[in-house]
Structure 1
Amino acid sequence: MNILIKDVYTPDALALLQTKENVNLTRSYNIQLNEAELEETDILLIRSRTKLSKEVLAKAKKIEFIVTATSGYDHIDLEYCRQNQIKVAHTPDANRDSAAELAIMLMLNCIRHSRDALTSIKANNWRQEVPRGHTLSGKTLGIIGLGRVGSRVAELAQGFKMKVTAFDPYQPDEQFQTYHVERSGYTELLKQSDIVSYHVPLTEETRYMLNDRALASISKGTIVINACRGGVVDEQALYQALVSRKIAAAGLDVFEQEPLPKASDLRTLPNVFMTTHLGAYTYESISAASRQAVQAVCLFLENKEVPCCLV
């Protein structure tokens, strides 16, 4: 069984695979797959930088199982995999703390104007050059998607004494009750929240979920946080809302195109705090994702049920 490992996986996790019999392991740090790899690989371990389109997968005649050590999976053509009996799994629990903490960091940086403060201190100025901020305490946080990460954001936000509401038509009432979150409709949430934070996968349903129409409903002065997938937000519509100050600020960790193009209009705005897709970029998250991905492969090799399968 030929197993190909792409991108970053921790050595201790990969050591588990080395104990398996009749397994040939290959490491490659070239993110995309070449022709030989496509022809020879039975099991593939990747992260989100490896794009598996229909065209790429069509050349992979032997692949039986794909594991992505990420919570997101929009880099894989799941429909093609479904049609061709290729099993796919992901690691949705691995980055729960890491991604949730980053979302809170983005909120704090926006509401306390830390970008302006850094600019001021670098220019040998002081706080008279920085807009006065607000506290998170007492504010209403609207969470879009009360799944693994969204629910953890809710827990952390409540530690700041925020009121938390959420929109998620796929979660049962028990999920809202467990995390002490008020259920809300999408438009209602946009109108009532001081901060709106997105925590959904990128699907046809969620693409451009924050668009012109949604922004027309949003309360003036709201802060928008996106730490899930760039395509969930229409960046041009967001840009216009930031310029007009309909939205007070945005904290963005993800973008429609990554790396963010040098010519992106978002780079020109003072009321945007941006990071470089750091949601899962911690030692703890990468370690947990590596371990969970390898454990999924071990279960597959043993013909046991694999958790967190997408296909």
Structure 2
Amino acid sequence: MGKIAVINITSFGREFPEFVEELEVNVGKVEKFILPADIPVEELIDLLKGYQYVLLGNYPYFGETFFKQCDLKLIARHGIGFNNIDLKSAKEHNIYVTSIPNEIEMYAVAEQALALTLSISKNIVVADDMVHQGEWNVNRQRIMGIQLTNKVTGIIGYGNIGSCYAQMMQHGLNNKVLVYDPYLSKEVADKDGVTLVELDELLAKSDVVSLHANLTKETTHILNEKNLSKMKTSAILINSGRGDLIDEKALIKVLKEKKIFGYGADVASVEPMLKENELLTLPNVIITPHSSIYNTDCMWQMNRKVVDDVCLVEVGSKPNNIINDM
């Protein structure tokens, strides 16, 4: 029998306790842990001694030092990102790494990006607060918004989620869609009715800019102070990719100086977000706690996937959606 550690996934088994029961009947003891992103690797090694399986959230980081001294057979990411795992090292130590297939999450994340876009454009949070404070007709200029129909949407990263969001903006709001993605072919762009452009052109022409790129060395701070200054002062910026796609210090500066209309995000450079982060003080910002996937349809499928991975490895089979080439 194996031992399973569920790390930084508060949702696992909460709405669907049958998944925890299934693991404990078929595999072994399930323990849940909430760990800081910066937990020392020695502490992580000690904590997970004797565990064969980890179901993992967005942090902490698992690298070479950990893999040299662990008993793991599998790390199953409860998500699609994998920047908190050294895939090469995991492979060298014969540890499977799996993730959630894009199609499970893509509609949930794209819907969240759309919800943030609409909420920023209509100042929904400010307007709701006005009503609750009894300020129905007080200083209504606070909620002067932007109409989105027949505008231009720019998408940075046209993968499963980016293309899904593009369809919503294109067909739902009749937007022209510009795309910056060095890996996207013109044939696919033409088929989808979107226009491939360079980043500078996208930033200059878009009324909405939405980030859906993976976080890599090349995309870290892809939106820095120089690039943010190229956006329209009436533009909305959305980030449902990763916090470090944007230089947050530069973002705070342009928001305070009203050089863009507003910012909506489901991610942050440091998660959980620090209370002293200045983004939290700005009225033209809406941030949700990395919660795009929090709907019953998506959560059931994600829980089912990681449980299947553990059960497959326990009986000597390969799990599904392996991302480290084993």
Whether the TM-score (by the shorter chain) exceeds 0.5 is yes
Partners of 1:82 and 1:249 in 2: CA distance = 42
Q: Note the C-alpha offset of 1:35.
A: 4.7
Q: Note the C-alpha offset of 1:17.
A: 5.0
- Which range is displaced more, 233-242 or 286-295? 286-295
- Among 85, 91, 100, the alignment partner of 1:76 is 85
- Which range is displaced more, 289-298 or 145-154? 289-298
| 8 Å CA contact retained: 1:74, 1:202 | yes
Q: Which residue of 1 aligns with 2:34?
A: 31
Count the aligned residue pairs: 307
Q: Which residue of 2 aligns with 1:309?
A: 323
Q: TM-score, structure 1 length as denominator?
A: 0.88
Structure 2 residues not aligned, in runs of 5+: 36-42
Alignment of 1:86-105 (within 5 A): 86-91=95-100, 92-105=102-115
| 8 Å CA contact retained: 1:266, 1:272 | yes
Q: TM-score, structure 2 length as denominator?
A: 0.85
| 8 Å CA contact retained: 1:71, 1:93 | no
- Among 260, 277, 281, the alignment partner of 2:290 is 277
Q: Note the C-alpha offset of 1:80.
A: 2.6
| 8 Å CA contact retained: 2:98, 2:319 | no
Q: Which residue of 1 aligns with 2:215?
A: 202
Partners of 1:76 and 1:133 in 2: CA distance = 41
Partners of 1:262 and 1:97 in 2: CA distance = 30
Q: Which residue of 1 aligns with 2:122?
A: 112
The 1:286–1:51 alpha-carbon spacing in structure 2 relative to 1, beyond 3 Å, is: farther
Q: Which residue of 2 aligns with 1:247?
A: 260
The 1:36–1:116 alpha-carbon spacing in structure 2 relative to 1, beyond 3 Å, is: closer
Partners of 1:164 and 1:19 in 2: CA distance = 50
- Which range is displaced more, 1-10 or 109-118? 1-10
| 8 Å CA contact retained: 1:4, 1:44 | yes
- Which range is displaced more, 208-217 or 291-300? 291-300
2:244 is the counterpart of 1:235: no
| Aligned residue identity for 1:124 | G
Q: Which residue of 2 aligns with 1:41?
A: 51
SS in 2 for 1:105: helix
2:80 is the counterpart of 1:66: no
Partners of 1:102 and 1:181 in 2: CA distance = 21
- Among 214, 223, 227, the alignment partner of 2:227 is 214
2:277 is the counterpart of 1:264: yes
Q: Note the C-alpha offset of 1:59.
A: 2.9
SS in 1 for 2:250: helix
Superposed CA offset, 1:69-111 (max 9, x none): 1011122222432443422110033221111111001101111
Q: Which residue of 1 aligns with 2:150?
A: 138
Q: Note the C-alpha offset of 1:209.
A: 1.2
Q: Which residue of 2 aligns with 1:189?
A: 202
Q: Which residue of 2 aligns with 1:4?
A: 4
Q: Note the C-alpha offset of 1:302.
A: 4.7
Structure 1 residues not aligned, in runs of 5+: none
The 1:185–1:67 alpha-carbon spacing in structure 2 relative to 1, beyond 3 Å, is: same
Q: Note the C-alpha offset of 1:189.
A: 0.8
Percentage of pairs with the same residue: 29
Partners of 1:26 and 1:110 in 2: CA distance = 44
The 1:225–1:310 alpha-carbon spacing in structure 2 relative to 1, beyond 3 Å, is: farther
- Among 145, 149, 164, the alignment partner of 1:152 is 164
Partners of 2:309 and 2:319 in 1: CA distance = 9
| 8 Å CA contact retained: 2:5, 2:51 | no
Superposed CA offset, 1:273-302 (max 9, x none): 122221122222221111122333444445
Partners of 1:17 and 1:172 in 2: CA distance = 43
